[in-house]
Amino acid sequence: MNVDSNFENTIKIILIGDSSVGKRNFIFRFVDNKFQSSHITIVGFDFKTKICTLPNSKKTIKLQIWDTAGQERYMSLNQNLFLKVQGILLMYDITNRSSFDNLQKWMNLIKDIIDEIPLVLVGNKIDREDERVVSHEEGEKFAKEMNISFLESSGKGDQNVKEAFYTLSEDIIKRIQLERTSFIQLNSNSNNQNGNKKKCCSKKK
């Protein structure tokens, strides 16, 4: 059997944040378990895919992971990239204060483009703890104010990389299941109402 057929859902997620916060290497670490020490800037968009089994729901999914390469410098996002996006990893660098200060601008851009969506905040590069300028508490506070999940990570040290993708994916799966349940209930109620109308309006013979 083709391995690509052994998954239940295809999920499209996107990484957003300032340039050089480590988004591309974060994806490489998760998908290929590799890390590139040199920074490579890509103009346009880049994406990778990975089939994985989520630890909590036990669902096997295919993740389509997009990087907003080259868009960060303009602080703008191509709306076409957000077609069918189901979740977002918003990333900053704990050694770069401006990348944290710009989070609110990224949140505003996201809200302008897409409705409510599962989102996880990631404070990256904890392998450089001695260079930290953004405290864990600051990241936690921002996430709490935005009502989103939060964790700190390191693409280089492979810390909390899988956890970030899994946390977001689990939130997306819950949302999909909730939407399906609501859809079924809505159809059921609609059918019941139609049935009652037919009984009510039918002529006696």
For the chain, domains (ranges, CATH) are 3-201 (3.40.50.300)
At 74, is the pLDDT very low, low, confident or very high (cuts 50, 70, 90)? low
Indicate if the pLDDT at residue 106 is higher than 60: yes
pLDDT bin (cut points 50, 70, 90) of residue 3 is very low
Sheet holding 149-152, edge to edge: 46-53, 60-67, 9-16, 87-93, 119-124, 149-152
What is the per-residue pLDDT across 138-188, written as a single tens digit (0 to 9) for each?
999 999 999 999 999 999 999 999 999 999 999 999 988 887 776 566 666
DSSP 204: P
Residue 86 has pLDDT above 80, yes or no: yes
CA-CA distance, 29 to 35, in Å (whole number)?
Answer: 6
Q: 87 vs 183, which has greater pLDDT?
A: 87
Instruction: Tell me which H or E stretch contains 121.
Output: strand 119-124
pTM (predicted TM-score): 0.82
Please report the pLDDT score of residue 2 as a whole number: 40
Instruction: Write down the pLDDT at residue 79.
Output: 75
Residue scoring higher pLDDT (192 or 156)? 156
- Tell me what pLDDT residue 205 has: 47
Q: Is 138 exposed, middle or buried (0-12, 13-18, 19+ CB in 10 A)?
A: middle
In this predicted structure, the answer to whether residue 77 has a pLDDT above a threshold of 90 is: no
Q: Which is higher by pLDDT, 7 or 126?
A: 126
What's the pLDDT at 180?
A: 74
CA 97 to chain CA centroid, Å, is 23
Per residue in 44-60, pLDDT (tens digit) is 567 899 999 999 989 99
DSSP code per residue over 19-78: TTSSHHHHHHHHHHS---SS----SS-EEEEEEEE-TTT--EEEEEEEE-TTTGGGT---
How many helices (H) and strands (E) would you count in the chain?
A: 5, 6
Helix (H, G, I), strand (E, B) or coil at 116: coil
